[in-house]
Structure formats: structure tokens, C-alpha cells
Amino acid sequence: MTFIGNKSDLRVVGTRPVRPDGVDKVTGRAVYGADATMPGQIIGKVLRSPHPHAKIISIDTSKAEKLPGVKGVITSADIPNIPSEEAFVGEGPMNFRDLSLNCMARDKVLYEGHVVAAVAAINDAVADAALKLIDVKYEILPHVIDVEEAMAPGAPILHDNLFTAGVTPKPTTASNVAKQVRFTIGDVEAGFAQADVIVEQTYTTAPVHQAYIEPHACVAAIAADGQVLITASSQGHFMIRAYTAKLLGIEIANIRVTNAEIGGGFGGKTVVYLEPLAVALSKKSGRPVKMTMTREDVFRGTGPTSGGTIWVKVGATKDGKITAAQTVIKLQAGAFPGSPINPALMCAFAMYDLANVDTLGYDVVSNRPKVAAYRAPGAPISSFAAESAIDDLARKLGMDPIDLRLKNAAKQGSKTVYGVTHGVIGYEEVLNAAKAHPHWTAPLGKNQGRGVATGFWFNIGGESTGGVFINEDGTASVVTGSPDIGGSRASMAMMAAEVLGIPYEKVRAVIPDTASIGFTHVTGGSRVTYATGMAVTQAAQAVVEDLKKRAAMIWDISPEAVEWKDGEAVPAGANAGGFDPLPLAAIALKAAKTGGPIGSEISVNAQGAGPGFGAHICDIEVDPETGHSTILRYTAVQDVGRAIHPSYVEGQIQGGAVQGIGWALNEEYIYNKKGHMDNAGFLDYRIPVASDLPMIEAVLVEVPNTRHPFGVRGVGEVPIVPPMAAVRNAIRGAIDLEMFHLPMSPPRIRAAVDAAKAPKAAE
Amino acid sequence: MPTVVISGSSCRDFTHGESEFEVAATTFRQLIRELEQRFPGLGEHVEEYMAIAIDGVIYQDAYHAPLKPNSEIVLIPKIGAG
Amino acid sequence: MSKIHVETTINGEAMEFLANPGESLLDALRNTLNLTGTKEGCGSGDCGACTVIIDGRMTCSCLVLAVEAGGHEITTIEGIAQGDTLHPIQRKFLENAALQCGFCTPGFIVATKALLDKNPDPTETEIRFWLAGNLCRCTGYDKIVRAVQDAAAEMRGG
Amino acid sequence: MPSLNYVAPTTVNDAVKILADASGPTRVMSGGTDLLVQLRAGRISPELIVDTKKIPGIMGITGSAAEGFTIGAATTGAELGDHKALKAAYPGVVEAANLIGSKQVQGRASLAGNLCNASPAADSVPAVVAAGGTVTIAGPTGTRTVPAETVVTAPGRTSLAKGEFIVSFHLPAITGKTSDAYLRFIPRTEMDIAVVGCGVSVTVDASGTITAAKISLGAVAPTQVPVDASCIIGTKLDDAALEKLDAAAQAMCNPIDDKRGTIEFRTKVAGVLARRTAKIAYDRAQART
């Protein structure tokens, strides 16, 4: 593919126009999941298990069914009992039987909030009353929440058919450890032998929720002929279609999904929870069924990302050359296997050019909601530990932490622990930009500290479809299969306008339903601007080629004699003939005479997305008496390849950084002894509020990704990787305390302060 | 012939520990068939769960991806994301 | 008990509707009056997505009974723009890219209107504390705060 | 489904009669910010909600620093914050009321609601108690006025009898160099429930010696707890006095371990806040002329 991303040539890419869906979103007109309706719809609600682990002895729905106004009640008996089937889907490996069991428990409930039944009724009040009339008999089983406890001998076993994969010989007894994986290069023992300084420590992180502000919602209807209509808010309407088909045994051609506007996802809306139930309820009731989660449902019933325990050991020579790095990571998968253990291991040290690395990981189930993807799944967890250890190493060596990283920085040709050799990457550029930033050398006051940390994410490509169609008046319509979660309609229209050579305002982008455009993977993995952008760009380029042919036809000269410049066809040279330029609009007007409608739809499976790197600098002030931390200043530097719409690129970085700050300081799932989540709401699940934060300065470094026509790298995930270690390292700078556990909440910091004062300090 | 490098444990289970070997293949598709022949199950495993990096560039699904005679091919887990 | 007849003024227009005694104003706005621009993010007053202005004071419509609306003046996101002319706050949110998913945006815009009506020249700190009851998970608040500053400046100027 | 009824009486007597005659579970509503959350969560299922806001005088502030203030029971925190004279006379009470929930919540939330919800962590309670506030309660047998600290008897429990509800709060006239302050500790900067709250009122003489003080802690015991102020009376709030106050505050703590804080953390922070709040109140009192 030809690279057309040279900054000097760009007119539209790199500017900051208003997004096409903007006005609807500032006036309240945009239709999100819970705003969608269907004629004659009724209300669907679910019954959730009060127990974290129990056998379902019986479910009696007869009383509920008799309640006036109840139109249908379903249990697992109404959902196909599908066999175990593993597949790799957009967001990672997935077992569809597990997905089915997660939507509706069959024999056992595996976490508090696990769905056991659902009702459809004429209104909320009747539906609520019906839920109270469903009689479920449970045999309560011992439960386990913590990852270490789940791995311990004698722990309650969640799945008696789960045997640890990846160990030889194959185990014969069931375990909560679903999988063991290892990535190794070189010889860490030899590496540590060469080290003058070694840092070794164990860290823990808490599970955190994506906490999108819009709760899951959908409305679905199945007709007598089996055709299904679904409107839902998700990161992929093709994903909703595929999973609903799979779980209910419906042919894909019989399902059409319209994507409502999505109120945030961050990975959490890449799986189904409600849609199959809504369809099953519609089948039972013969009515369209609307389902909407409450905020409590979202916390108890949907997937956060894993918490984990991370042991890290890093060694270096006196001059700061890292000789070996090693980690052992245990991640909570929740009730079913599938924590992001692979990327956690792969990303931990991906920022460094290391000869000897050994990473070992465990995927562990426990009685919590099944984890879902969350921004750079796995990487923030392992990087918190790794980047904290690197910082402690720098202190031991008496080296500037950025210099230490520069000395060991991954560059083109560096080999990663998972074997891949880095191509053109911007990590050194990012580190140098951070070091040169005035923030790095600004003065600090009492109880104030500065921390730096860096992060890596692969970014992905994958399957996308994009179309560009020229309208009769010379304007253009862009269609893609990627739900717009943060301004991608704007960047798609910008790339098309750039190629067509017409103003951005002449191009409108929309996201049609699953029957109206080719398959497109979820909006996730920082893939949309890269992969879908590639499809749109290629479609626009195909249109330009066609426009040249049409102009040639109008001028009656050979197509080779036509060039496309600034939205007009012009003769290639003097001997091509003395024609006045033909603007796009003039060619569009003659479309019928020159071969009919002008447009192109291109489907790609984009490969080789360019990895992204970031470096964050955080200033913090700690109140040693209360343990309260205040973020004073925050700068996030990132290689973005090429920013199509810089404002939305900055927004991704600022938003990701702040999610990381919340992860670092206050966010956590709090379980009581009964295995119930104690803080299932925004009051006590404490995400950052506006007054907690300063401005977040996003510094865009552009090292173009040569595999994308405009040089795009994914940007959405890298920014959540560095913050936890950056905050932790800043706290260490402020009050000289080494923190090892997330969140670094006020009680934890105060306890660490007291422990440090006490003789034989130990956290 | 292109060299195949295995860094993760999930594939080594199929190769009985072998972590570097040559294969006669000129495309991703041929590679998968070669692997299946040499190490029964590995080809299928790669097909379902693995991506390959050809000289540093990651291909998640791409039968047509060309392999050069001196290419280094690394088998890695497919990457998803949020 | 049977529904209660409520007469109120919403976005300058006299409105009548029937509400159950326990029904929230948020549910009445969304389900009965079809004013779905006001969003529900939590239903417990912790996220601000359902912010409306009642008699000049902003509040969470999920914390108000629909029947309490009787005789009061209510402004929702649908009443911020004048016809097809956007309010400066709405324009500045767009120009500053102060929204990503846009779900929290109506609440932020209504809350910002209430702030600037009361304090035309707020400091960054005043803006951040005023908007602390509005959660945004996408933006990190940076561009939202800038949009508010930008809108305030324009409104003072003109 | 038990049906729910809503009434909005327009006189105190009507309200008292309705409350007294009510057969089923009944809730008095002023701001409603706690009520609606509990209703939705199914934690309460009243058959009758009595909205007091249509009663004349139930909202609004009268009086002055010289004669004391009367605050209608349903007056919102936002109104308190906008009342310059009240803010000048009782900065602590106003800052406490303005910490209840978000700015949105302050558009509704009232002192009466915050008190009668009977949460140990209510922000306004320690402030009102420290300020020497009293409440006037209307009921079948007429009205009675009691110290604010006597209303809440346990978490979720009050001393109000059937048919009774609060009509107003009173803050005494400011005599001499007296002022107050309220501080709370929360993990974030806003939107959290107090992990510890502390209200302090201090009177100083011309020399800056403390002649009277009242201190109340929130969220460290089943109800607000008073702290013996004798350790700072007669002092100029020097470091020694502050240390004694810290210890005295910690001694009064009987908190729980929960999602918001540990026993150890709450106890230590109670001491810290007592010191810091007293200092602010002392400086404000000193600044009085």
C-alpha cells in the first residue's frame, strides 16, 4: 500500500473539525441503548443469585407466570444447552458454552449476581413483582474470591471438569487454575548472575470495572418466521449478531442488529449479557422485549478486568544495563477461564531490549463475575509491577529513571519475550520527549513527588468494512461497520475527504446495521482508525480511480491521461488536451452517462498494526496524616503514528490516563465475608471526579506506522498502561514509601506511613 | 527455508519442547499444514489461537501472507483487546 | 393508588402528565414525556447524567418524584438550544471535542448552564468542584473543563 | 404490590394529622435525596410519602447573627450556601451542608433530611451539634424544641414519636468572638460519604484564650459523638492542647470496619481532623471583632 501520510501534503487529516454526530449528542437527540424502543415492547428483567457459589436445586416460576401482566418467564431450560466450543473472537479466546452459562446459569451459580431466570412483563412494577415470585432452591457451596486462595490446596472448586492446561503430564484432578503459560528468551539465571543490582518484589492489583456511564441496554424482537431484530448499545453489532446466533442456535441471516449510540465501553461491551435473554423472552412472550441494566446490575453482573498477584525480579549491571527480567503473574479470570494472562506476560517488559526474560502466568477462576476486556487487557497489571520495579532499580543504581529506560529502550530490531522483533517503533522518541518536557525538571514542594512510568500495547488490525459513495450533488457518504465510541465517524470522514480532495463538510459518515454493510470486528483493540480507516481509505482511492475514468470518458481521452488534484480531474499534461478541470460534482452529475452510481465498499483484514508506546509523568502530593493523595500535574507522552483528529487522540490519552489514576488510587471491588460485593454503585466504587484532577497534558509524538496509508497507530489502549506505576513512583518520591498494593487508597498509605515509623517497617 | 521460532509454552506442548526449526513453506497456509504434519495438533492450534509474526510483522489471520526463504516466523498467541 | 395528575412547565412549555406516586421525575421525562436526552447512569444521584434545572437550581431528576414537579419550571437538555441555534455551551463542547461517547454530555451541559447562570466567570477549581457530581469516564474531564472556560468567556464577551 | 400514596399537606397541622392517622409505614419527605434512593433500592417500601415542602415557612432562613437564625427544615443546602449572613455567622454549618452530596444533591437536600436519615456519617449533624443548634418538632401534642444531638438515637433511628416531624432548626445568637468549622475526610475530593467528620465551635476572649468550645465527631460511632473540649478550654490552642485534643477525639471513637475505612484509620483520622478543624474554628473566632 502506498503511504500518503506526509504531513506537508495533508489538508484535512490533522485538523480538528466538529464530529458529524456531535449536534445530536449535545442536544439530547442521540439514541443510546436505553432510548431505543420497538412498537408494543414490554419490559424484561433478570433474577440474580444472592449466593457466590451454589447448586441450583430447583426453580419454580409458576407463581410468577400466573401474575397478571407477566408475559413470559425463562430459565436455562429455555436456552439451548450448547457444547463447549472454543473460538478466538475479536477480544480474545472465548468458550461459547461459558458465555451461555454466564448469561444464564444452568446447574450452578458461580458468583453473586449470576443470572438464574428472567421475566417479561407489561411494566417495571409487574416485572419486579414477578421476580419476587420466582422460587429458587439453592444448595449453598463454599466460595472463594481471592486468587491466591483459589489456587491453594483444598480451595472450593468451581468447575469439576476444569483441568489445568499447559502443564505436563496432564493433571487428573480438577483445579481453579485453568491454564499455565510461559514465555522465555535467553537464560534469566545467567542474566541475574551478571547483575550487580537486583530488585525483587511482589505486587497486587484489584479488579477494576470499565465503569462506562451507560448501563447495558437493548430491545429485541423475534417474529413468527424466526427473523430477529435487535437494537443494542455495544462495541460491535456484528458481535451481538454472532453471539446471539451462537447461543440461541439461530441462523445469522435471520438476525439484524442496529447499533444504538454507545455510552462508553472500554472493552466491557465486547460481549453479550442481555441480548440472548431479550430474544428468548420475546420468543416466549411474542412481544418485543426491552432490557436495561441498573448500575448495580452492571457491577454485579458484568465483567471487570482481572486483579492479580505479580512477582517481579529485575537485575542490572552498575552502569544500568538490565541483564535479566522475570515475572510470575496470577490473574483472576472470574467465574470462567479467560483472564488476559497472555498479554499480561507479553507486555510486561516489551518496552525494553532484553536478552534474558522469563514470564510465567496462571489463569485462575474464582467466585466473581467473569472478567471482560478492559483497555489493553493485562498490560496495566503486569506493567504496574514491572515499571515499579524498574523505578526502584533506578533508585538503587542512583540513575535517572528515564535514562535507565533509555539505556535499555526497545528499538527497531529489539526482540520481545514473545519472540517478535519490533519494527519501526517510537519508544526512544517518546522517552526523549518526556525527558525534554519542562514538567520533568519543574520544582517540587514538601510531601510532593514525581514519578514516571512507561507502557506498551500491540494494537491490532482485523476485519473491517468501509464504503465511500459519491452522491448526485458531489457530496460523499461514508459507511463503516465500526460503532463510533469516541469520534471515529469524524476520522473516517476526514480520511475519505483527504483522499477525495473535497472539504470535510462534504462528507458524512454513518454506521449502518449488520445487514447493510460487510462484517466488521468490534470497536476494540485500538483497531478502528487503523483497520476500518484502511478500508475507508482504500475505498476512497478506488473511487478516485473510477472518477478519473469517468472524466476520461467525458473528455474522451485515455484514463492514464487524467490526474486527480484537490477534488478535481485535470489533464495529466499538455498533450492530454487543454481541458478545464472537472470538479467531483460535475463528474457526479454525469454518473448515469458514464457508467452509473459511483462508489466502492472495501473489506479488509488488516494485519501488522503498529505497536504504541507511552511515557507518563505524574506529580503528587501526599498528606501523611490522612494518606490522601492529590495529583498536582500530569503529562502523558505517546507515539500515535499519525493523529487523524488530534483532539480525539488527545482525548483517548487523557481519558485512559485518568482511568489509570482511578485504578491507582481508589477503584476496587470490595467483597464481604459472604462473598457479596459491598460497593456495587458509583457512591463507593470511586471513579475519579473532575475535582480530583488537574488538566492532563497529552503530548503527541508522531512516528508514522508505514503499514497504514496515513501512518496511524492505535492510541486507545496504551494510555491506561503507565499510570498506576507513575502514581506509585510519585508517591514514593513524595514520602519515600514503597507501595506494593493497588489501590493506594488513603487507609493503605496511612498504614504504610505508620509501619515505616514503627521499628522493622513492613507493609 | 524459513525458520519457525516458538516462545510460548502453549505451542511447545505440541513440539515436545522444540522451540526452533525450519519449515518448507512459502505462505501462512502452507506453514499451518506443515506444522500439522510435523506435530499433529499444532497446525490446528495455530489456526485457532495463534498469530504469526513474519520478520517482526504480526499476522492474526492471513493464509496468503508470504514467507521469504530467510524469514523468521514467530508463533504467538492471538491478541484481542478492549 | 391511582396515578396523580401533574401540571408543570418543561422547557418553557406547559405540560400535563400522569405519574405513579413513587415514580421519579427522570422516569417520567424519559418514559412518559419521551424526553430521552436526560440519561440514567446510576439512579442514585451519584453520576449526574440525569441533571435538570428546577426553578433555577440544578438537581438529579432521579432524586425527584415526578409528582413533585407540579407547579415548577423544569429545564432539560432539550431546552438548552434555541430552536436550531445551539447554545454557546453546546457549541463549545463540540469545538473543544469535550465529548467522546456523549452519554454524560447532556448532564454536563445542563450543569454547566446552571453554573454559568450563577457564576459567569468561574475559576478552573470552581468549575471542577461544580461539575464533581457529573461523572465522565471517557475524557478525563480536561476538554470538558476547557469547553466550560471557553463558553464562559464567549458568554461574558457577548 | 403494596400501593404507595403521596400527599403534600399545606399546613403543619394537616401534616401532623396525616402522620398521626397513617396506618401503614410512612415517610416524611423534605429534599428526598435519601428517600428516593432507598425507595428504588427496595430498602424501604412505605405506603405513604408526606411531602412537607408545600408547608409555608418549611423552606427559608430568617434571623441574624445578633438574634440567631431559624432555618426551615426543608431548606436546601444550596439556599444555605447563598445566604451571606448565615455563612458569615456559621461558616462551619454552611460548609457542612454544602458537602452533602453533589451540587445537584444540594439543590434538594435539607438539614432535616440529613438529620432524620440518621446516618452516622451525616455531614451537617456534627456541625449543627457543635454550633449548639436546636430543632423544633411538631407533633400531635404541639411543638417541642430540643438540642440537635438528641434527635438521632441509633443508625436509622430517631427520637421522633409517631405523628412528629421537624419544622425548623435554630442556631443561637453569636455572642463575643465565636466561630465554627467543619471538616470531613473522604477518599476523593467530592461525592463520597464521610469516613470521618468533625464539627467544632470555639469562643475566645480578647487575649485569644479559648473560653468555650463544643466538638462533635461523625462517622466514628453509631451516632455523632461529643468530644470533651476541656483539654482546649483555657488554652490558646498551642501544640500541647492540640495533642490532647487529638487523643481526646480518638478516645471517643467506636467505629466499624467497612468499605469506607478501617477502625484504625477512622480513629487516627478523627484525631487529625479534630486538630485541623479546631484550628480553623479558632482562627475564625480570633478574626471576629
Single-letter code of the amino acid located at A565: K
pTM of the model: 0.97
The rounded distance, in Å, linking the Cα atoms of D104 and D116 is: 20
CB D266 within 8 A of CB D196: yes
Helix (H) or strand (E) segment spanning residue A704:
none
- What are chain C's partners, defined as 3 or more CB pairs within 8 angstroms? A, D
The beta strands (E) that lie in A676-718 are given as: 696-701
C1/D190 Cβ within 8 A: no
How far the first Cα of chain B sits from its last, in Å, is 37
Q: What is the pLDDT of residues A136-145, one digit of tens each?
A: 999 999 999 9
Of D1, D188, D191, the CB nearest to A129: D1
C87 confidence band (pLDDT: 50, 70, 90): very high
Q: Is residue A505 part of a domain?
A: yes
Active site residues of A: 717
CATH topology of domain B3-77: Ubiquitin-like (UB roll) (3.10.20)
Nearest chain A Cα to B49, which residue?
Answer: A88
Domain CATH number, residue D218: 3.30.390.50
Nearest CA distance, D214 vs chain C (angstrom)? 30
Query: Contact B76/A343, CB-based, under 8 Å?
Result: no
Q: What integer is the mean pLDDT of A330-357?
A: 97
Of A129, A689, A747, the CB nearest to D190: A689
Structural domain contains residue D89? yes
Asked if the structure places residue D157 within a domain, the reply is: yes
CATH code that applies to domain C88-157 = 1.10.150.120
Quick one: closest CA in C to D46, which residue?
A: C22
Chains C–D, number of C-beta pairs less than 8 Å apart: 92
Question: A573 is in which domain, residue-wise?
Answer: 7-30+461-606
Per-residue confidence in pLDDT tens, chain D, 289 aa: 558 999 999 999 999 999 999 999 999 999 999 999 999 998 999 999 999 999 999 999 999 999 999 999 999 999 999 999 999 999 999 999 999 999 999 999 999 999 999 999 999 999 999 999 999 999 999 999 999 999 999 999 999 999 999 999 999 999 899 999 999 999 999 999 999 999 999 999 999 999 999 999 999 999 999 999 999 999 999 999 999 999 999 999 999 999 999 999 999 999 999 999 999 999 999 999 8
D56 inside domain = no
Confidence of residue A763 (pLDDT cuts 50, 70, 90): very low
Q: How far is residue D101's CA from residue D123's CA, in Å, rounded to a whole number?
A: 9
Contacts of D49 in chain C (CB under 8 A): 21-22, 65
**Minimum distance, in Å, between the CA of residue C94 and any CA atom of chain D:** 24
Determine the pLDDT at residue C158: 62
Q: Based on the domain organization, do D279 and D228 belong to the same domain? A: yes
CB contact under 8 A, B82 and A717: yes
How are beta strands B3-6 and A696-701 bridged, if at all? unpaired
Contact state of D189 with A666 under an 8 Å Cβ cutoff: no
User: A–C: how many Cβ contacts below 8 A?
Assistant: 177
Domain with CATH 1.10.150.120 in chain C: 88-157
* A487 → closest Cβ in C46, C100, C141: C100
| Cα(B30)–Cα(B24) distance, integer angstroms | 8
Distances (CA, A) of A707 to A424, A500, A533, A610, C91: 10, 21, 12, 7, 36
Residues 497-556 of A with CB under 8 A from C: none
C141 near A CB under 8 A: yes
Q: Is A582 a member of any domain?
A: yes
Q: List the beta bridge partners of residue D177.
A: D204
- Taking alpha carbons only, the member of A49, A19, A44 closest to residue A34 is A44
Q: Which residues contact D16 (CB under 8 A, 6 or more apart)?
A: D138, D139, D140, D163, D164, D165
Which of 1-40 (D) contact C at CB < 8 A? Answer: 3-6, 8, 29, 32-33, 36-37, 39-40
CATH value at residue D136: 3.30.465.10
Q: Is the pLDDT of residue C45 over 60?
A: yes
Closest CA to A459 of A606, A337, A271, A660: A606
Q: What's the CA gap between A22 and A36, in Å, rounded?
A: 19
Q: Which residues of C touch A654 (CB under 8 A)?
A: 139-140, 142-143
Chains D and C touch (3+ CB pairs under 8 A): yes
Preceding omega of A169 cis (within 30 degrees of 0) = yes
User: Given the DSSP bridges, would you call strands A308-316 and A322-334 parallel, antiparallel or unpaired?
Assistant: antiparallel
Chain B contact probe: residue of A167, A212, A342, A424 with most B CBs at under 10 A: A342
Tell me the C-alpha distance between A608 and A420, whole Å: 12
Strands A628-639 and A696-701: parallel
* Test the B interface: residue of A188, A418, A720 with most B CBs within 10 Å: A418
**Chain A partners within 8 Å of D192 (Cβ):** 683-684, 686
- Domain range holding D195? 177-287
Ranges A355-369, A544-558, A749-763, D51-65: which has the least confidence: A749-763
Q: For residue D119, what are the β-bridge partners?
A: none
CB A312 within 8 A of CB A200: yes
Cis peptide before A512 (omega within 30 of 0): no
* pLDDT of residue A762 exceeding 50: no
Number of domains in chain A: 1
| CA separation, residue D196 to residues A106, A687, D256 (Å) | 45, 20, 11
Which of A86, A420, A717 lies closest to B74 in CB terms?
A420
Kindly indicate the confidence band of residue A759, based on its pLDDT and cuts at 50, 70 and 90.
Answer: confident
Could you tell me if C111 lies within 8 Å of chain D, comparing CB atoms?
A: yes
- Report CB contact under 8 Å: B8, A210: no
- The answer to whether C88 touches C155, Cβ cutoff 8 Å, is yes
D184 and D162 in a common domain? no
Q: How confident is the model at residue B47 (pLDDT cuts 50, 70, 90)?
A: confident
Query: Which candidate from C51, C59, C132 shows the least CB-CB separation from D190?
Result: C132
Give every strand in the sheet of A357-365, ordered side by side: A177-185, A357-365, A322-334, A308-316, A197-205
Task: Determine contact: A295 vs chain C, CB below 8 A.
Answer: yes
Q: Average pLDDT, stretch A635-650?
A: 97
Verify whether the Cβ–Cβ distance D259 to A688 is below 8 Å: no
D76 touches chain C (CB under 8 A): yes
Over residues A447-472, the mean pLDDT reads 96
Q: Which residues of D touch A (CB under 8 A)?
A: 1, 41, 185, 187-193, 195, 258-262, 264-265, 268-269, 272
Q: Which long-range contacts (CB under 8 A, 24 or more apart) does A56-59 make?
A: A56/A105, A56/A106, A56/A107, A56/A108, A56/A109, A56/A116, A56/A136, A56/A137, A56/A138, A57/A137, A57/A138, A57/A139, A58/A135, A58/A136, A58/A137, A59/A116, A59/A117, A59/A134, A59/A135, A59/A136, A59/A137
Which chain A positions have a beta carbon within 8 Å of D187's beta carbon? 628, 665-666, 686, 745-746
Instruction: Find chain B residues with C-beta within 8 A of A271's C-beta.
Output: none
Q: Do the chains A and C touch each other, judged by at least 3 C-beta pairs below 8 angstroms?
A: yes
Cell 501520510 -> residue: A5
Residue D137 CA, distance from chain mean position: 15
> How many structural domains comprise chain D?
3
Please tell me which of the candidates D76, D78, D102 has its beta carbon nearest to residue C133: D102
Question: Chain D contact for A628, CB < 8 A?
Answer: yes
C-alpha grid cell, residue A617: 509523568
Nearest CA to D233 out of D174, D285, D196, D289 is that of D285
CB contact under 8 A, A27 and C86: yes
Q: Are residues D128 and D224 in the same domain?
A: no
CB contact under 8 A, A423 and B56: yes
> Touching D: which chains, 3+ CB pairs < 8 A?
A, C
Q: Of A378, A347, A375, which is closest to residue A456 (Cα–Cα)?
A: A347
C126: chain D residues, CB-CB within 8 Å: none
Answer yes or no: is A592 within a domain.
Answer: yes
| Fold entry, domain C4-79 | Ubiquitin-like (UB roll) (3.10.20)
The reply to whether C95 touches chain A by the CB within 8 Å rule is: yes
A582: CATH: 3.30.365.10
Residue with cell 494494537: A459
Of A496-505, A720-729, B29-38, D182-191, the poorest mean pLDDT is in B29-38
Asked if C35 and A681 come within 8 Å (Cβ–Cβ), the reply is no
In chain B, which residues have their Cβ closer than 8 Å to the Cβ of A93? 49, 78, 80
The mean per-residue pLDDT over the stretch A704-720 comes to: 94
d(CA A579, CA A571): 7
CA D179/CA D202 separation, integer angstroms = 6
**Beta strand segments in B1-47, E:** 3-6, 20-22
pLDDT of residue A553: 96
C104 touches chain A (CB under 8 A): yes
Quick check: D187 and A745 CB within 8 A? Answer: yes
Least confident window among A167-171, A328-332, C33-37, D29-33: A167-171
What is the pLDDT, as a whole number, of residue A761?
A: 44
Q: Residues of A with CB below 8 A from B41's CB?
A: none
Q: Are A514 and A256 in contact (CB under 8 A)?
A: yes
Q: Please determine, for residue A675, whether its predicted confidence score (pLDDT) is greater than 80.
A: yes
What is the predicted pLDDT for the residue at A91? 63
Residue A577 reports pLDDT greater than 90: no
* Nearest in space to A724 (alpha carbons), one of A626, A631, A623: A631
List the strands of the sheet with D177-185, edge to edge: D177-185, D196-204, D210-218, D225-227
Give the Cα separation of A21 and A509 in Å (integer): 9
B81 vs A86, A525, A608: nearest CB: A525
* Domain ranges, ordered by start, for chain B: 3-77
> Could you tell me if D190 and D252 lie in one domain?
yes
A-chain residues near D185 (CB < 8 A): 626, 628, 746
